[in-house]
Amino acid sequence: MSSKKPVLKEVPDVVVNIVTGATYKKGRFLGKGGFARCYELTDIKDQRFYAGKVVSKLLLLKNHQRDKMAQEIRIHRSLQHKHIVRMDGFFEDADNVYILLELCPRRSLMELHKRRKHVTEPEARYFTKQIVEACEYLHKIKSFIEI
């Protein structure tokens, strides 16, 4: 069994939801995780901005990988809380699955920490309160979410 990662295709500059016809222009790179790359995507028709989570289908070849992706989408689309990034939709093309997420204008706590190397005590209280509220919400609804 090889541990070599597949070479992923470049995300196209323009992506199209073939079901709805919506067209998105790829903007700046926002970051990457274990499976996904994230770009700013702009809906060409209405100029709305999204954080586009892009997962290559080369990373979804096994059943359990596809199941995990489907589960993430099912769970995330059911969440509605002011301190949890909103999912606005998803679609796929021949190469990728695209998840459209709320674009957070103030970026992330991680980016703030990288930029400034510390947060103040009032900032820590502010962020901790938001995180606790989001965790309470998730805990409260966990039995209602279809996993």
Residue 7 located in a structural domain: no
Residue 57 located in a structural domain: yes
What is the total count of domains within the chain? 1
What is the model's pTM? Answer: 0.88
Q: Is residue 53 a known part of a binding site?
A: yes
Residue 61 located in a structural domain: yes
pLDDT at 38: 95
pLDDT at 3: 60
pLDDT digits (tens, 9 = 90+) for 42-72: 999 999 999 999 999 999 989 999 999 999 9
Q: Cα–Cα distance between 54 and 95 in angstroms, integer? A: 10
Residue 8 located in a structural domain: no
The CATH number that applies at residue 23 is: 3.30.200.20
pLDDT in tens, the chain (147 residues): 556 777 888 999 999 999 999 999 999 999 998 889 999 999 999 999 999 999 999 999 899 999 999 999 999 999 999 999 999 999 999 999 999 999 998 777 888 888 888 888 998 999 999 999 999 999 999 877 766
Residue 129, domain extent: 14-144
